[in-house]
Amino acid sequence: MEDKLQQKILIFSRDSDFCRSLALLFQSMYEVYFTTSIDELLKIIKEKNINLVIADSPVSDGTVYPSIRDARVQYPNLFIVLLYVYKFSNIDLEKKYRQHVDALFYKPVDINQLSNVINALLEEKITTN
């Protein structure tokens, strides 16, 4: 059985302060990494054997979508949580994202709810290993 502290979270956001804030929230429970480069996402997932990704989509333009899709295809056991700006005009993009993520949160994010979902997903991983 995998220890909770051995679980690894990767946070992606183009906002480094946001990355640091989320890292502070989870660092006492999990091993936490973060990046501001979408191009580094898949590389870090592979190198660090990441269990869960929190991806912050800065705008509803779909720039994060290819990396989310590729992460889901390459690492089907990886949990992916997306933080997303809701725009009615991008409902089709949201549907595409939902096919590849385990949870989607609209901004602004309720940190307690986010934390509860992440803990539940990683607890599920611990109990199914």
* Separation of alpha carbons 33 and 20, rounded Å: 9
The hierarchical CATH code for the domain 4-128 is 3.40.50.2300
- Whether pLDDT at 129 is above 60: no
| Total-model pTM | 0.89
* Separation of alpha carbons 90 and 17, rounded Å: 27
* Residue 37 backbone dihedrals phi, psi, to 5 degrees: -110, 115
| Residues 28-72 pLDDT 10s | 999 999 999 999 999 999 999 999 999 998 766 678 889 999 999
Q: What does the block give as tokens for 39? A: 């191009």
- Beta strands across the sheet bearing 31-35: 31-35, 8-12, 52-56, 79-84, 103-106
Question: What's the average model confidence in pLDDT over 10-24?
Answer: 96
Alpha helices in 12-55 (DSSP H): 16-26, 41-48
* Separation of alpha carbons 29 and 6, rounded Å: 9
| Residues 89-112 pLDDT 10s | 677 777 888 899 999 999 899 999
Show me where the domains of the chain are located: 4-128
Give the strand pairing for 31-35 and 79-84. unpaired
* Separation of alpha carbons 3 and 65, rounded Å: 31
